[in-house]
Amino acid sequence: MEQRYLEERVSRLRGKIGFYYENLETGETLTYNGDEVFKAASVIKLPVFMCVAKLVKEGQLSWDQKVLVREEDKMPSCGALLSLTGNVEIDIESLCRLMITLSDNTAANMLMRAVGMERLKENFEEMGLKKTVAERELFDSEGAARGLDNYICPSEIAMLLKKIYNREFVDEETSEKIENVLLLQQIRHKIPGYIGRKKKIANKTGEDTGTTHDASVVFARSPFVLVITSNDTDVPETERFIREIALELYEENGEGE
């Protein structure tokens, strides 16, 4: 795929679009607003998960550590915890799995609290993130009123995914654990949509009003990282573009598992 073709396709879309592609064997890249900043929606959950895994490896948290989720902690929309009645105790590993595979918003908030926003910021910086930041919990209307939000940068999210694929995030065991959870992803209508939902793709989506993102490692014959972000867009139109462009890149790189 040529840069000119990518730019022509993106130019048809509304709003601000970000795109970062890298072939993990050849190093070939394609980018469009790859270093720009976007409102994160649920893609912020990927670096939060990676931060938790890092802290577990460092002995600051443990996977089996229990967190009390109270009725008032439960957040709407995505996830399973909202459907559970009363107060429940959930271990940190289960919260991570729910946050990634079902994009559970309550799980994300409980993990942010377990880590702490200041420690999250410090660890994001240690992970090499400069533009990708978490400033508030999800559905924090008070924080939003103060102008706080969560932001991602396509090239930085791609960097994290590349580290996972290369088993370079913390160590091989940690990288593999993160990848295995991403492979359990249930929200697969974007990048995997036309490729095939049963194909091997490790991804994390994000969506909000006028926003739709997907970030993935696609295990084509020649594997690649693909991150597509959008703010102030026509969501159905942009999601169709995500499915189409992902399939084109998949076919160019050869069918995988």
pLDDT digits (tens, 9 = 90+) for 60-108: 999 999 999 999 999 877 789 988 989 999 999 999 999 999 999 999 9
The CA-based dihedral angle spanning residues 156, 157, 160, 166, taken in that order and rounded to the nearest 10 degrees = -110
Q: What is the pLDDT of residue 124?
A: 98
Task: Please write the tens of the pLDDT for every residue from 169-186.
Answer: 999 999 999 999 999 999
Q: What is the pLDDT of residue 177?
A: 98
Q: What is the pLDDT of residue 79?
A: 82
**Among candidate residues 187, 224, 229, the one with its CA nearest the CA of residue 204:** 187
Say if residue 129 is exposed, middle or buried (CB neighbours under 10 Å; 0-12, 13-18, 19+): buried
N-terminal to C-terminal alpha carbon distance within the chain: 22
**Among candidate residues 205, 195, 210, 199, the one with its CA nearest the CA of residue 243:** 195
Q: What is the pLDDT of residue 145?
A: 85
Q: What is the pLDDT of residue 141?
A: 79
Q: Set out the domains of the chain in order of their start, with CATH numbers.
A: 3-253 (3.40.710.10)
Q: Dig out the tokens for 48 from the structure.
A: 């939060």
Residues of the chain with pLDDT under 70: 256-257
Q: What is the pLDDT of residue 144?
A: 83
For 217, the 3-state DSSP assignment is strand
Determine if the pTM surpasses 0.75: yes
Q: What is the pLDDT of residue 225?
A: 98
CA 247 to chain centre: 19
CA gap 2, 192 in Å, rounded: 21
Q: What is the pLDDT of residue 154?
A: 98
